[in-house]
Structure 1
Amino acid sequence: MRTTPPLWRYALITAVVLAVIAVAQLIVQARAVLVLLFLSFLLAAGLEPLVAWLVRHGVRRGVAVALVCVTGTAVVAGAIVVGVRPAVAQFGQLVSSAPRVMNEIAAELGDTDSTLGRYLSEADVQQAWQSAMSKLPDVLLSSAGAIVGILGSIAGALFSVLTVAALTVYFMLALPRIVDNVAIVLGEPERADVLRRALRKVGGYVTGQIVICGCAGTAAYVFFLIAGIPYSAVLAIGVAALDLVPQVGATLGAVLGVGMALTVSVPLAVITLAFFLAYQGFENFLLAPRVFAQATALSPLAAFSAALVGGAAAGLVGAVAALPVTAALQVVVRHWAGRRFPEPPRRSGRDDTALDPPGGRLPCTVGRDGPTKRWSERAEWPPVRTRGPAGTSAVR
């Protein structure tokens, strides 16, 4: 006889479903704040190795966090003075001279014998291009709504940056307590160790990526200055920012530099391309392996797939944050797989231990005829003396 479930069970299922829907709706509504929290936590985990190093050398954690924040502020202020101020001025010049720059690129391409060059050199295409480029500054400057929108976007970006900076400081101060509380919830010490190792991987990756981007921007800025490529500060900041994007960021940065070098001459564009190729080889094979020595190594397929998924989920921020998250997940998956499918012990060389006699392998001795064979390498077992009848000994 079938019995109907009690009424309270239906009520419980309904309450759980409604709670899940409410939480999902809350996440959708607060996704911008959650992204800021996530970025702040990643930055705190990235700066944790520096704070931990200061703490190990006898500095209190609050003082260590303050030192790291002051140093970071000084670095950012120096970058603003050295690069951002000239970059803002150069960006204004670039916008006002956009028609001239595009025409110079088209002229350089038109001098070649390629199909694209012949197409761009046609009179109708040149006239349409010059007409569009001549109207671009007027369109940009005459649109009051666009200017207001741009100013609003800049103000929102500044607010987001300040919010991330403040939350990063809070996370840096509270990170040990957060880890300890999560470890208590996890229960087993082994799981807590996995959590700490995953955070170390995230910290190593974030710190290393900052170093890599700084090196890329600095090298590009020095090259642009030496080569005489215009708008060097703007291009260097663009190269450093694009280097954050996995897999394709370096290529996009090279496109920026080569495109601006085309406004000077085609040989300079070729030299710029050669510089970026040489620097990418240096970064990929010498710099990155040393910087990311403590970070989890990801295969190109895993990195590219993670970047695609992160970009589809959260845009550029998701593509940038996908790699450290994937590195942490890799630590967790390896730990789970190691417990679920333990590997057999590895032996080097030929495995002949199965033939060893009881008590272990006998040592190899050297005689007049050379080294004698071990018992495990002989065809017969060693003689074993046994006690025969009436106290006599026998050999078998």
Structure 2
Amino acid sequence: MAYQGNQINYNNLNDELKVKVDKAEGVESQVSALSSKVDNSWQKGVYNDTDIINLGYSSASKVFRFHEWDDDNSKLDSLYIDILVGRAFSGLIKLTLASDYHIGNAMGGTEIVYNVAKVGEDVFLNTMTINNISPDFAKCFYVKPLVSEASRLYIPITKAPNTRNPINIKVEIFSAYATFDVVNEITIARDPMISQPHPWTPQTSSFMARTGGTMTGDLVIEKGIPNLYLRTPNKQHEAIFRLNASNENDFGLDLYRNGSIASRVDKNGYTFVKGLDGDLFNLADLKSSVSNGKAQVASAITGKGVQTASDATFDTMANNIRAIPTGVPKVEFDLQLSSVVPDGSAGNITTPAMNFQPLNASNTMIGTTIFRGMGGDISQSNAINGVAYIEKCTINNIGNGNYTVTFTIRNKTGFGVSLPVGTSLRTTITG
């Protein structure tokens, strides 16, 4: 039989024990009231069902998953991220996007930072920096610059045709203002009216990767004697562009190949290159030397009877050289006095133009032949019929490679006979 003695209950407790029981019941009530808060708090090592977090007054982030694209995959489609910042905002908005292979390959993602400062409709700063973006993601999605309005900011994102990939979105704001409520009210909506040309050039990182990339801005190296190195992995072959200058001196821009200077552009813009002797020479001097040489060659070709300009191309000069007649050039003229030459006087007879430089002439006058070289006097022993002789002949350069010869006919003094008009001189001239 069970013990039927006195039963202990609250009523038969002494006052001291009743106080302790009352305190215990109060603790239990408090634990029960806190249990829901404990169950919903962040816990280590377990899944925490929340899409927004904050760190202090000025930092908060929120995540979304969007897949409400148009059912027609052949169309462009767009969404926008709407951020109600109020009239004033100053800070950073970091956008992180990720997708996968679905209808189209959008594997990978992107991280983009917008640096924004505005008051009302006045925008003082609005830049977009792509920290990283995968090539496949960039083919399927195009993230546009942030748009600022009086009390809101929004970011448009467009998907390419023939893709319908879900996209995970994280928006993080670090601001000079209270941030949590702004982030908590961020919304995402589809807007097929957003304009974005397609096909587009896939976006790339704003930074140059070690493996290469495309720069759209300027590369500036600001230091004394800066160098730009290009070399093979084994360092056996290299080229160096060196600005050989400091704040005080400027010795030019040098190009080195495998440790040896190959060319230089001096501070005045003149270009020097290394010759076969290892020394640098000025290209302007080379050009002048070539021009002078061409002029001399052109003059020599013209002197051989083929008119050639001093600035003719080398092809033209080569063709003109081939056109130079072979053998000794030769012409014959029958010349006549056009006026009477009295006794003791002299008259001139000039040949027509010749396209070569005369060297020798064989002359016949009034039946007697006189052979002589060009220039100089001829002795009176060569007198013709004891009346006249060729006193001298003069070569005339009339330009463009053409020449004439002027014969001076002297009427021998003391015979009282004039040379009449039409007195003939037959001459054979060779070059």
Q: Which TM-score band (shorter chain)?
A: under 0.3
In the superposition, the TM-score normalised over structure 2's length comes to 0.20
Q: From the CA coordinates, give the structure whose radius of gyration is larger.
A: 2
Q: Normalized against structure 1, the TM-score is what?
A: 0.22
Greater share of helix residues, 1 or 2? Answer: 1
**Higher RCO (CA-CA < 8 Å; seq separation 6+):** 1
